[in-house]
Chain A
Amino acid sequence: MADGVVARVGLVVVSHVAGIADGVAELARQMAPDVLVLPAGGTDDGGVGTSFDRVLTALEQASADASGVVVTYDLGSALLTTETALELLDDDVRRLVTVVDAPLVEGTLAAAVAAQGRAGVQEVVAAAAGLAQGAAPEAGDDAEERTTLVLVNPLGLHARPAAAVARALAGLDARTTLGRPGGPGVDARSVLGVVGLALRGGDEVDLRVSGPDAATAVRTVAELVEQGFGELDGPPEPAPSPGRTSDAASTGPDFSGTAASPGVAAGPLVHLGGEEPHVPERTAAEIGSHSAAEGARLQEALRTLDARLAASSDDVVQAHRALLADPALAGTAQQLVAGGASAASAWWRVVGDARAVLAGGDEVVAGRAADVLDVGLQVLALLDPSLDAALPPAERLAGAVVVAADLLPSQVPQLAEAGVAGVATAGGARTAHASLLARGLGLPMVVGLGGAVLGLEAGVPAVLDGTAGRLTAPADPAAVAEAHERRAAAERERHEAQAAAAAPVVLPDGRRVEVRANVASVAEARAAREAGADGVGLLRTELMFLDRAELPGEEEQAAGLAAVFAALDGAPVVVRTLDVGGDKQLPALRLDPVRHGFLGERGLRHGLAHPEVLRTQVRAVLRAAASTASEVALMAPMVTFADEAQAFRDVVERAGAELQAEGAAYALPSALGVMVEVPAAALAVDELAAVVDFVSVGTNDLVQYLVAAERTLPEVAGLYRPDATAVWRTLEQVVAGARRGGCRVAVCGELAGDPETAARLVALGVDELSMAPVSVAAVKAALRP
């Protein structure tokens, strides 16, 4: 099945009045011409009420022609009729149908637009239901929970943490505000509002929550804050530099600024047109439209961009998605549209207002103005393609040193792809997203050079030193030659190191040992390739589920996986299904620390007990596997007995059969495996081997279960000894069992990443080791004869 066409999701509109159902369906079809929208309104004789037969017929017809059916309804008794009809339908029809509680007109339109874009059922439902959540919170008289937290990460509530807060709160029924102690609070779901507070590390922040989910919201936000939004152990971003270099400081040919991304570049100087589009203030009537159509157009543009960005697991892009959902932008723009403005002029006005507010903040806040402009321009381009701020043609960019007033984050990858040698900006900050992206892409960049660089003559030779923070233009031929040489030398070194690490490990007896990496994101997948890993031995899929109140749908999961696969250049990958429970507690699954603790319903146990969660993920993996040249294997965590492995195999085979029946593009896994973490599994690997193609030993959990000591508890952490006799005797048993059963053995825990231990594992007969990307080169070197 190379590229089967997936049928779209169909809609059924159930109303008490035939005219309402017909009208809403007609409206939806205008916006989504390829979506099947069937009305079921009024009684059989045309009266007020709902007709069981009409609903039943519509459900049967829609489910025959669509990949899923989403039902919207007007009043409670329409829901009763629909549910009664569902009860009487066949299981395989009923399985396709989801009834969504949403405002009839807006919910149906949002669902139709999502379905037109080939969204899956869950996304269509979310699109419709999202409107219900967007409604103004009721002025509740329920109790308010208050707490004061201290920000522990150095940069405090900048855009990525603010986006993480907004994501974590999505789906929770809780009105949440953040503010300075004693000051007014802002809506915690508004990234702009939160960033505008300009709260930094060490500052106190007041959290106030009311509503049914208040307790969960307080806990979720408090955890994020206490963990420093995950910015405590990564490479910390340096504190913001005190200010930008003043315009008068340098007149050339040497300009100094702030080093934002290391490396040397030389090439002709090219200016990036910094002019912003002129968006005339127009009313809907002036452009021959009307408010409802303009509102729908704006919503569609926001959704389209959101769907486009959803594929990326990049934090910066995710922060942009949070901006799209920010009530301060979309909500205010919709109000202006309702007041008569055209979609483009309303959007551009709120973008301008937000930028003006942010520009008044400190450097970190001001840096977010570029993000707002970036998102603003992308939406604007969708609303009116003639306003697209295009880059210069690629042939002028290749090999050039680009000079701009400031850079939009979305422009950085485009510049890198066009082959730009380096980037220099008059403004900007080292902490801005554009700089972050440039570092990630290895694109040399200097920021804060001052306005004088904007006046430089285009086409003159330029040399950029991203390590020293300098731009020389015009540069003399000797300087250009030296820069080219330094750049070439650096490239060579990198290639050599990479090539050396990338070579396979072959033992003297001819046996090949796979040294692979454990990854969880696109960035880590890239790092794994650059580190010379032979592939990915463990792709953790929990990242996509973290910090959010609702599960991602099949489409979103498939897109996220495909992005990771794409970064692997065809190298093989082992995807692990959701490993929750134990110390991994995901808000979206509402887990309990005891029932889902280390001895509870975790890993595959959870998946088999919640078949919809597992099925959705497996379908996403199979669909993503169709889009890559990589061999995609699939494995389940926390397996104890062979019958669980068999149940897992059944789920995978059923998902394949379903996708085949739906005509979807999919590929079955190249191999199926299970993790061996439970001693009972380790001592009976031969039984597992009868069901699966490989086993992968998760040494962290296996050691913990063997010594009966939780490694995160300081009181017993001393008992957690990976070198214990029992651990190695068990590993011997695993290898022996796998040999008897004829299946491959991998080790993907921390043990594998230690060069000495890795050699010992290989001597034992392990076929594959998988570890953090950073350990790959050292382990390969240790294993080579």
Chain B
Amino acid sequence: MSTPVTDSLTTADVVAAVTRFGAVVTENRQYLIDLDSAIGDADHGENMARGLAAALEALAAEPPASPADALKAVATTLIRKVGGASGPLYGTAFLRASTAVAGKDQLGAEDVVALLVAARDGIVSRGKAEPGDKTMVDAWTPAVEAAQAALDGGGDVSAVLAAASAAAQDGAAATVPLVARKGRASYLGERSAGHQDPGATSTAMLFAAFASVAGQ
């Protein structure tokens, strides 16, 4: 028996965070659809809500043995169930995150930052987007940087995730004036300015879900 560690995420915490993420996305399904219909194909909210519901079913059907298992199950379900760009992108993020923490029972602050860095790198290499392209990278990049800074400053898991969540919110809000350079929104050119990017918005929701579970 290991001694109880307070400053860490357990398998159950990861499942709880994904559950919370699914609930938030479902609650905000129409909001995400509206954002996406302004500059995309109006399917982001629908796709993510359905994909996360399927992921939660998978987690319930076969309870994961480790945080890495939980993240991997979410990854494969999102990849398989979500058509369009968000499936491969979120799927890759969860997959790389899973690999980064393979073999660990609980995730400390350093593990969480390593997981976030791996996830962000996965998204960047898959989508080839850079900060400023008006994509989810605009939420991921500041979130990962804030998480790293919090860790460097001696923060615990909840501090790291709280910092990341706040930065992701700001990053998503900052996409409003940008002109899209990647994804289907890029076809709109200048007309994509003035709308918040749906992918960056759901990324902020993801960080908020993890931060709220860690803060409990």
Contact = CB atoms under 8 A, between A and B. Distances in A.
A52 B126 CA distance: 14
B43 A84 contact: no
Central interface residue in B43, B81, B92, by most chain A CB within 10 Å: B81
A21 to B, nearest CB: 13
Interface stretch (A74-82, A491-499, A581-589): A74-82
A53 B54 CA distance: 15
Given A49-B47, A52-B88, A75-B184, A80 B83 contact: no
A77 B126 contact: no
A51 B82 CA distance: 8
Interface in B196-215: none
Central interface residue in B41, B43, B88, by most chain A CB within 10 Å: B88
B191 interface: no
A48 B41 contact: yes
B20 interface: no
Given A80-B126, A80-B127, A52 B182 contact: no
Given A76-B182, A80-B127, A84-B126, A50 B79 contact: no
A85 to B, nearest CB: 8
Interface in A61-78: 75-77
Contacts of A81: 83, 87-88
B58 interface: no
Contacts, number: 55
A77 B91 contact: no
A43 interface: yes
A84 B85 contact: no
Nearest to B92: A84
A544 B92 CA distance: 41
B83 A83 contact: no
A81 B91 CA distance: 10
Contacts of B155: none
A75 B187 CA distance: 11
B89 interface: yes
Interface string A522-557: 000000000000000000000000000000000000
A49 B83 contact: yes
Contact of A77 (B81, B88, B92): B88
B16 to A, nearest CB: 26
B85 A76 contact: yes
Contact of B80 (A42, A52, A80, A87): A52
Interface string B52-83: 00000000000000000000000000011111
Nearest to B129: A76
Interface in A561-576: none
A84 B91 contact: yes
A587 B85 CA distance: 36
B88 A84 contact: yes
A52 B83 CA distance: 8
Nearest to B183: A76
Given A49-B43, A80-B127, A84-B126, A43 B85 contact: no
Interface size of B as a range:
20 to 34
A259 B89 CA distance: 71
A47 interface: yes
Contacts of A16: 83-84
B47 A80 contact: no
Interface in B162-195: 182-184
B84 A77 contact: yes
A52 B85 contact: no
Nearest to B46: A47
Interface size of A as a range:
10 to 19
A81 B126 CA distance: 9
Contacts of A80: 85, 88-89, 126-127
Given A48-B43, A83-B126, A77 B80 contact: no
Interface string A399-427: 00000000000000000000000000000
A43 B182 CA distance: 22
Contacts of A84: 79, 87-88, 91-92, 126
Interface string B76-111: 000111111101110110000000000000000000
Contacts of B80: 44, 51-53
Contact of B87 (A47, A52, A83, A87): A52
Central interface residue in A49, A52, A80, by most chain B CB within 10 Å: A80
A43 B183 CA distance: 18
Nearest to B82: A49
Contacts of B92: 84, 87
Contacts of A44: 80-81
Contacts of A53: 80
Given A80-B126, A81-B88, A84-B92, A47 B183 contact: no
Q: Which 3 A-B pairs have the closest CB atoms?
A: A49-B83, A77-B85, A43-B83
18 contacts: A43-B83, A47-B83, A48-B43, A49-B43, A49-B84, A50-B87, A51-B80, A52-B88, A53-B80, A76-B85, A76-B183, A76-B184, A77-B183, A81-B83, A81-B88, A84-B87, A84-B91, A84-B92
Interface of B: 41, 43, 47, 79-85, 87-89, 91-92, 126-127, 182-184
Given A50-B84, A52-B80, A77-B84, 7 more contacts: A43-B83, A44-B80, A49-B47, A50-B87, A76-B184, A84-B79, A84-B91
